[in-house]
Structure 1
Amino acid sequence: MALTATAPKTSNDTPTRLAIRRFMKSSSGKIGLVMAVFLILLALLAPVFKPYNPATDRDYINRLKPPSAERVFGTDNLGRDVFTRVIHGSRISLQVGLVAVALSLTIGTLLGLVAGYFRGGIEILIGWITDILLAFPSTLLAIAIVAVVGPSLTNAMVAVSITQIPVYIRLARSVVLSARELDYVQAATALGAPNRRILLRHLLPNALPPIIVQATLSIGTATLETAALGFLGLGAQPPAPEWGAMLSDAFRGGYALNSPWTMIFPGLFIMLTVLAFNLLGDGLRDALDPRALK
Structure 2
Amino acid sequence: MASVASTSLRRSSETPTRLAIRRFMKSSSGKIGLVLAVLLILLALLAPVLKPYDPATDRDYLNRLKPPSASHIFGTDNLGRDVFTRVIHGSRISLRVGLIAVAISLVVGTFLGLVAGYFRGWLEIVIGWFTDILLAFPSTLLAIAIVAVVGPSLTNAMIAVSITQIPVYIRLTRSVVLSARELDYIQAANALGAQNRRVLLRHLLPNALPPIIVQATLSIGTATLETAALGFLGLGAQPPAPEWGAMLSDAFRGGYALNSPWTMIFPGLFIMITVLAFNLLGDGLRDALDPRALK
TM-score by length of 1: 0.96
1:161 matched to 2:165? The reply is no
Which amino acid is 1:18 matched to?
A: L
- Alpha-carbon distance in structure 2 between the residues aligned to 1:202 and 1:252: 53
1:91 matched to 2:92? The reply is yes
**Partner of residue 3, structure 1:** none
- Alpha-carbon distance in structure 2 between the residues aligned to 1:212 and 1:119: 24
Within 5 Å, which residues of 2 pair with 1:123-134?
Answer: 123-134=124-135
Within 5 Å, which residues of 2 pair with 1:252-291?
Answer: 252-291=253-292
**Partner of residue 6, structure 2:** none
**Partner of residue 54, structure 1:** 55
**Partner of residue 4, structure 1:** none
**Partner of residue 180, structure 2:** 179
The superposition leaves residues 163-193 of structure 1 with CA deviations (integer Å, 9 ceiling, x where unpaired) of: 0000000000000000000111111101111
Which amino acid is 2:143 matched to?
A: A
**Partner of residue 68, structure 2:** 67
1:216 matched to 2:186? The reply is no
**Partner of residue 42, structure 1:** 43
Structure 2 residue ranges without an equivalent (≥5): 1-8
Which amino acid is 2:284 matched to?
A: G
**Partner of residue 5, structure 1:** none
- Alpha-carbon distance in structure 2 between the residues aligned to 1:276 and 1:98: 14
- Alpha-carbon distance in structure 2 between the residues aligned to 1:193 and 1:35: 44
Structure 1 residue ranges without an equivalent (≥5): 1-7
- Alpha-carbon distance in structure 1 between the residues aligned to 2:170 and 2:45: 32
Q: How much has 1:213 moved relative to structure 2?
A: 0.2
The superposition leaves residues 137-187 of structure 1 with CA deviations (integer Å, 9 ceiling, x where unpaired) of: 000000000000000000000000000000000000000000000111111
- Alpha-carbon distance in structure 1 between the residues aligned to 2:47 and 2:198: 43
CA-atom RMSD, angstroms?
1.0
**Partner of residue 32, structure 2:** 31
**Partner of residue 14, structure 1:** 15
- Alpha-carbon distance in structure 2 between the residues aligned to 1:288 and 1:54: 43
**Partner of residue 236, structure 1:** 237
What is the count of residue pairs matched by the alignment? 287
- Alpha-carbon distance in structure 2 between the residues aligned to 1:172 and 1:37: 28
Q: How much has 1:10 moved relative to structure 2?
A: 9.2
The superposition leaves residues 233-252 of structure 1 with CA deviations (integer Å, 9 ceiling, x where unpaired) of: 00000000000000000000
Q: How much has 1:20 moved relative to structure 2?
A: 0.2
Q: Tell me, what secondary structure is at the counterpart of 2:211? A: helix
Q: Tell me, what secondary structure is at the counterpart of 1:36? A: helix
Equivalent pairs: percent with the same residue?
Answer: 90
**Partner of residue 250, structure 1:** 251
Q: 1:84–1:124: structure 2 CA closer, same or farther, 3 Å change rule? A: same
Q: 1:10–1:161: structure 2 CA closer, same or farther, 3 Å change rule? A: closer
Q: Tell me, what secondary structure is at the counterpart of 2:71? A: coil
- Alpha-carbon distance in structure 1 between the residues aligned to 2:81 and 2:282: 35
Indicate if the aligned counterparts of 2:245 and 2:267 stay in contact, CA closer than 8 A.
yes
TM-score by length of 2: 0.96
Q: How much has 1:56 moved relative to structure 2?
A: 1.6
- Alpha-carbon distance in structure 1 between the residues aligned to 2:263 and 2:11: 59
**Partner of residue 3, structure 2:** none
Q: Tell me, what secondary structure is at the counterpart of 2:72? A: coil
Which amino acid is 1:55 matched to?
A: A
The superposition leaves residues 73-132 of structure 1 with CA deviations (integer Å, 9 ceiling, x where unpaired) of: 000000000000000000000000000000000000000000000000000000000000
- Alpha-carbon distance in structure 1 between the residues aligned to 2:52 and 2:257: 27
Q: How much has 1:12 moved relative to structure 2?
A: 3.6
